[in-house]
Structure 1
Amino acid sequence: MVDFSLYAITGENFHPGRDLVEVMEEAILGGADIVQFRDKTSSKAEMLHKAKALRVLTRKYGIPYIVNDDVELALEVDADGIHLGQGDMPIEEARRRVGGKIIGISTHALEEARLAEQQGADYIGAGPVYATKTKADAVSPVGLSYITEVAENISIPFVAIGGIKLSNVDEVIRAGARRVCAISEIVGSDDVTGTCRAFIEKLKSEGMREWS
């Protein structure tokens, strides 16, 4: 799969009154280089409409486009991949359904990360690093120690996620993350593009210090 640094996930509840595609385009212009469509409340028709619009947007900029949970929707809009939770479709079944498309999966413990790697996931989400209100069913924070564990033990790409802000991302990077995901901090920002640029700058500057 194409590598990435800043993973942006949709969250329309954080930008009421603002157009979904407009907000995500601003994120891309700021440096977000992979986009996930996540929507747990819209009707199927609304989700299809939004998913298609984001497919057009991500093709315009040539970046990977991931659909959360819904394999059928991912296939219908020809997304580049699917992201699964621990309680979703098993990776083996998802691979049969989506073929060579990207498969990502959320992990909260090293055993889950190792299993995902063994089963052929293309990347994993590692978190939530901090407490987050983005998901009503979010698990307890795993902390920075889990990021370090994954960095030291897992060879496939991983993205740190969960409560990550500009104010704490430096310590996430120092813990071993080279890719980060933010939702409310990005799409809820008054300056989406500027916020993404700030994340990218921190990834570059902290990364150069950590890995030089």
Structure 2
Amino acid sequence: MVSPSGVVVLTDRRLAAGPLVEVVRAAVRGGASWVVLREKDLSYGDRYALASEVRTVVPPGRLIIAGPDPLGGGAVHLSSVDNRPNGVELVGRSWHGFEELSDEDYVTVSPVYASASKPGYGPALGPAGAARLAGKRTWLALGGVDSPSRARECVEAGAAGVAVMGAVMRAEEPEKVIRALAEAVAA
């Protein structure tokens, strides 16, 4: 299984400047390589329906579901303590450096920078600190990656990619935001 890399978009329909599926569609047009569907507060049926709709605008196999139920797909993103569900091909985990991990394909390390979406969450690790924390794991930089220069710094420090939520969800032009981040990550 290929691990996420490039620009990974995390969803938050409450932050989205437009309908979530349209924001995701624009992000994919801009170069988002993966999407992590969060929206854990929805009922199972609504979340399943939203996952099915989002799958229609994301490249095949590139939708990751936050939580232990892949909602008809093959990829999940879990907390450090969630059990790996049977039958999933890809497991990512949120990691803060102290949890015991052994079955993940990648981790998100956060916060790399101070985050407008989670003010006060930290302290910010910086790209070098995140790289030290991740060690040899495949990792995505998460938290405050809201500019091409920050995205580039993370990849130069060893991140396989960057995970972005607020900067794209709040954007009036999500395609443009993602395109700039994707170009920086690829450079």
Bin of the TM-score, shorter chain as denominator length: 0.7 to 0.9
- What value does the CA root-mean-square deviation take over the aligned residues? 2.3
1:159 touches 1:178 (CA, 8 Å); kept in 2?
yes
**Residues 39-74 of structure 1, C-alpha deviation per residue, up to 9 Å, x if partnerless?**
13323332222122123333xx324111112x23x1
How many equivalent pairs are there? Answer: 185
Task: Tell me how far 1:198 sits from its aligned partner.
Answer: 0.5
- Tell me, in whole angstroms, the C-alpha distance in 2 between the residues paired with 1:133 and 1:195: 16
1:147 aligns with 2:145: no
**Matched position secondary structure for 2:56:** helix
Amino acid at match of 1:164: V
Q: Taking every aligned residue pair, what percent have the same amino acid on both sides? A: 25
**Shift in Å at residue 158 of structure 1?**
1.2
CA contact (8 A) 1:55 1:79 kept: no
Alignment of 1:131-142 (within 5 A): 131-135=114-118, 138-142=121-125
Within the candidate set 129, 150, 175, 1:168 is matched to 150
- Extract unaligned runs of 5+ from structure 1: 206-212
Which is helix-richer, 1 or 2? Answer: 1
8 Å Cα contact 1:2-1:64 kept in structure 2: no
Q: 2:152 touches 2:184 (CA, 8 Å); kept in 1?
A: yes
Q: Does 1:64 align with 2:62?
A: yes
* Aligned AA (2:47): M
Structure with higher RCO (Cα < 8 A, 6+ apart): 2
Inter-partner Cα distance in structure 1 for 2:167 and 2:184: 14
For structure 2, list consecutive stretches of 5 or more residues without a partner in the other structure. none
Preserved CA contact (<8 Å) 1:23 1:187: yes
Between the aligned partners of 1:125 and 1:161, the Cα distance in structure 2 is 6
Report deviation, 1:150: 4.7
Judge which range, 2-11 or 128-137, deviates more.
128-137
1:179-200, CA deviations, whole angstroms, 9 ceiling, x for partnerless residues? 1111111121111111111011
Alpha-carbon distance between aligned partners in 2 of 1:44 and 1:137, rounded to the nearest angstrom: 31
Structure 1 residues 45 and 133: alpha-carbon distance in aligned structure 2, compared to 1, 3 A threshold: farther
Letter in 1 for 2:182: I
Looking at structure 1, the residues matched to 122 and 48 of structure 2 have their Cα atoms a distance apart, in angstroms, of 28
Poorly superposed stretches of 4+, deviation over 6 Å: none
Residue 135 (structure 1) shift: 4.9
Whether contact under 8 Å (1:159, 1:180) holds in the other structure is: yes
Q: 1:198 to 1:136 in 2, by over 3 A?
A: closer
Distance 1:45 1:78, change over 3 A: closer
- Cα gap change, 1:188 to 1:164, in 2 (>3 Å): same
Give TM-score, length-normalised by structure 2. 0.86
CA contact (8 A) 2:61 2:73 kept: no
TM-score normalised according to structure 1 size:
0.77
Aligned partner (choices 158, 169, 193) of residue 175 of structure 2: 193
SS of the counterpart of 1:14?
coil
Question: Is the Cα–Cα contact under 8 Å of residues 40 and 66 in structure 2 kept in the other structure?
Answer: no
